[in-house]
Every structure is written in structure tokens, then in C-alpha cells.
Amino acid sequence: MMYLSHNFLMAQCDERASACLPKLKPFNSNGQYYRVQLVDNEIGKIKLVFNSNLVYRIASCNKSNDGKSLIIKIFDSNGKQVFSNESDTANFWDLQFGATAQYTIQANYPSGNGCAALLVGYMSKDKYSEIK
């Protein structure tokens, strides 16, 4: 029974991530849906390489079961925090990174439980400056 519950929850998570895809426009999707069910203030982590020659859009379309927004923090390879949305109510962020390197994205809900789904898009700095 637990297996079916988990599959159902992940299917809901996939639907939310799919619905979030338009928020990446005009960025190109990296083709991945990063998602996890978070319970009791768990922290989900993913490691991604970000290129310093690109601009990235990170989008989240989720809230916990008690209506809290997903908190996203990004850390460089030395553990230094380079981004946090704790004081930002937006559901997507355009970011540039000073160095091409592997970064860790941490996501959690300050309270409650729920699906955490992130999408990542990218575009060249030149194109980004044209649309800004």
C-alpha cells in the first residue's frame, strides 16, 4: 500500500512540475524535473553544474500542505550560500553564477509537508540582455 501511495504522490508532483514549465519561458529547459516529497522539515538536495556564461531561471510552483512556499538555497562548492529566496515571494528567479562549477540546491518547507518540484532553464547572457 505504501508503494502505491508514493507513486500517487510522485505523479501529483510530476503534474505540478509540468504545469510549471511555462514559467521557464523564454528560457530553454534543461529537460529535467527535480522533485521530491518533503516531510517534517526535510531538506531535498540536488547538485548541478552552472556555467558562468549562461543565465539560469529556477522555477518552483509548489506550496506545502499548510500553504508555505518552498525555501530554496544555493551553495557553492565551498559551502558558501550564494542565493536564498527566504525573503522573496516570487516563484521563479533569474540567476547568474560567477564561476562555472558544481552548486548544491537545497529545498525545504519551513513547516508542513508537500511535493517540492524545481525546473531549471538557461539562456546566453547576450540573449538575456536583449530581453531585459
Domain boundaries, the chain: 2-131
DSSP string, the chain: -HHHHHHHHHHHHHHHHHHHGGGGTTSEEEEEEEEEEE-TT--EEEEEEE-TTEEEEEEE--B-TTSPBPEEEEE-TTS-EEEE-TT---SEEEEE-SS-EEEEEEEE-SSS-EEEEEEEEEEEHHHHHHH-
The CATH number of 2-131 is 2.60.120.380
User: Which pTM does this prediction carry?
Assistant: 0.87
Over residues 72-121, the pLDDT tens digits come to 999 999 999 999 999 887 889 999 999 999 999 999 988 878 888 899 99
pLDDT range class, residue 1, cuts 50, 70, 90: very low
